[in-house]
Chain A
Amino acid sequence: MIQFLINTLPFLWQGLLVTLAVSGLVVASSLVSGVLFGVGLVYGRWWIAWPIRVYSDILRGTPLIVLIFLIIYGLPLVGIDFGNYASAVIALAAFKTAHVAEIARGAIQSIHFGQTDAGKAIGLTFRQRLQYVIMPQAVRRFLPPWINAVADAVKGSALVSLAGIVDLTLATQQVIGRTYDPLPMYLLAAAMYFAINYSLSMASRRLESRFAYVRE
């Protein structure tokens, strides 16, 4: 048993690192683009808000695995070939961007319009209103659902194994290919995913209760 663990754990560790790297890249890039899109959805003119709305609705209506294959096979068609790893990360990030944009939109819209009016009344510019009035309040509404989205990104990253990227899921399968004993390995991988995601959802819950006092 000990020997078995010593033999397999390095493989799983490598896989876990890939899973964390993919999730980290996806979470970081989708945070930036998602918040920008969310602001665009709320404050943008129609020629900004409308394309974002279409983008978000199309991506959220597509199964993630279909999106991954579309980007892996579709990008080379227009002359861009990043390879499977980058393409899969782009697919996951594009998908997550749509979700983060909706979370950001919800958070911004949950701030009472009186706050904007008050900002206007004391002569703040749009940027100042966003920076000093809206965003500090909206971030409390944004964080808890966003952390759930992060946990979702970690779970979604398991799909990159279907594109041949050796993440935790594929590393587990490769080990099983050698040992022919699937149940303990799958349970071990499940426990690893659980450890990451459960701590994230605990953080989300703690934040939620901490921010619960801002209720009109």
Chain B
Amino acid sequence: MAYHFNFNFVWRYADKLYWGLVLSLEIALVSILIGMVIGLALALAYTGGGRLTKTAVSAYVEFIRNVPLLLLVYLVFYGIPSAGGFAYDAKTSFVATLAIYSGAYLVEVFRAGLDAIPKGLVDAGKAIGLTPWQRFLYVRAPMMFRIVLPSLSNVYVSLFKDTSLAYVIAVPELTYGANWIKTNTFRVIEVWLVVWPMYLVTCYALIYGLRILERRFSLVRR
């Protein structure tokens, strides 16, 4: 009656899991980079913009934050191409979804970061005759990035976990690899018992590594 564990099948296809993990990390990285561009642009538009811009940015943020990511994945991969009569491959679609998704969270992060910059510093920049662009580049941006760094690493780690949803549209990341092994070898529980620690260890390795980075760049040196 007792179940006989047999991990041999999992090890035989370990390359699927390994490359899946690499792809998961890649997807999370590319998505957060695009998401940062979206987030920063919209945060600047929000802080400097008129009422119409503010409403538009809030609408985007609220829509994305209040709809399940799974539904957004379906919406972008199946919904949008069906209306436009064009198609893109699953990986592109998922990265786009995750970028739009993280963008909505990063707008808030960057907005808080911009707000946290002491007003005196920006005024000092004005006083020595920096143009608005120079004030952004030399005063606000360097300050803001250091302030938001902890939030950025949190978003990155949670995006890495969210890449597990890519398997629903057959992007060959870690969870897809796990499902592939599952359906081909029927070693269901073994697969998940291997994949689970892989996610866990990677998550904490990321958190630990990013903490070191944060400490290196933090405003207050300890």
Are A186 and B164 in contact, CB atoms less than 8 angstroms apart? no
B75 touches A187 (CB 8 A): yes
Chain B contacts for A151, CB-based, 8 A: 66
Chain B residues in 8 Å Cβ range of A173: 74
Q: Is the CB of A63 within 8 A of B189?
A: no
One of B35-43, B132-140, B145-153, B195-203 at the interface: B195-203
Q: Is the CB of B80 within 8 A of A183?
A: yes
Bitwise, A160-189 to B at CB < 8 A (1) or not (0) is 011000000100110010000111001101
Q: How far is the CA of A189 from the CA of B74 in the complex (A)?
A: 11
Residues on A with C-beta less than 8 A from B65 are 197, 201
**B56: interface (CB < 8 Å):** no
User: Among A40-48, A69-77, A81-89, A118-126, which stretch is in contact with chain B?
Assistant: A69-77
Knowing A182-B78, A193-B71, the reply to whether A61 touches B192 (Cβ < 8 A) is: no
Query: Which of chain B's residues have a CB closer than 8 A to the CB of A186?
Result: 71, 74-75, 78-79
Q: Report if B162 contacts A (CB, 8 A).
A: yes
**Docked pose: A186 CA to B199 CA in angstroms:** 30
Q: How large is the interface on A (under 10, 10 to 19, 20 to 34, 35 or more residues)?
A: 35 or more
Q: What is the minimal beta-carbon distance from B15 to any residue of chain A, in angstroms?
A: 20
Q: How far is the CA of A51 from the CA of B188 in the complex (A)?
A: 28
In the complex, A1 has a CB within 8 A of chain B: no
Q: B63, A194: Cβ atoms under 8 Å?
A: yes
Whether B66 contacts A194 by the Cβ 8 Å rule is yes
B66 in complex: contacting residue of A61, A172, A201, CB < 8 Å? A201
In angstroms, Cα B167 to Cα A34, docked, is 30
Task: Kindly state whether residue A190 has any CB partner on chain B within 8 Å.
Answer: yes
Which single member of B67, B196, B199, B204 contacts A190 (CB below 8 Å)?
B67
CB <8 Å contact, A190 and B71 = yes
Given A186-B78, A186-B79: A158 touches B68 (CB 8 Å cut-off): yes
Q: Find out whether the CB atom of A63 lies under 8 angstroms from the CB atom of B70.
A: no
A133 at the interface (CB under 8 A from B): no
Are A189 and B175 in contact, with the CB atoms below 8 A?
no
In-complex Cβ contact of A74 among B71, B189, B195, B203 (8 A) = B189
B191 to chain A, nearest CB (A): 9
B200 near A61: Cβ-Cβ < 8 Å: yes
Contact B3 A77 (CB under 8 A): yes
Residues of A with C-beta under 8 A to B75: 183, 186-187, 190
Residue pair B161, A198 in contact (C-beta under 8 Å): no
Q: Known: A62-B200, A66-B192, A77-B3. Contact between A156 and B79, CB under 8 A?
A: no
Bound together, the chains give a CA A190 to CA B64 distance in angstroms of 10
Choose among A155, A157, A183 the residue that contacts B82 (Cβ–Cβ < 8 A). A183
User: Nearest chain-A residue to B161 (Cβ)?
Assistant: A63
Alpha-carbon separation in the docked complex, A194 to B65 (Å): 9
Query: Bound state CA distance, A70 and B175, in angstroms?
Result: 12
A to B CB contacts below 8 Å, 8 in the list: A58-B200, A63-B161, A74-B193, A154-B68, A162-B168, A173-B74, A181-B82, A187-B79
Q: A66-B196, A70-B193 are in contact. List 12 more A-B contacts (CB 8 A).
A: A63-B162, A65-B167, A66-B164, A69-B192, A73-B188, A74-B189, A77-B189, A157-B68, A158-B68, A159-B70, A187-B79, A194-B67
* The 6 nearest A-B residue pairs measured at CB: A158-B68, A197-B66, A63-B164, A61-B203, A183-B79, A155-B68
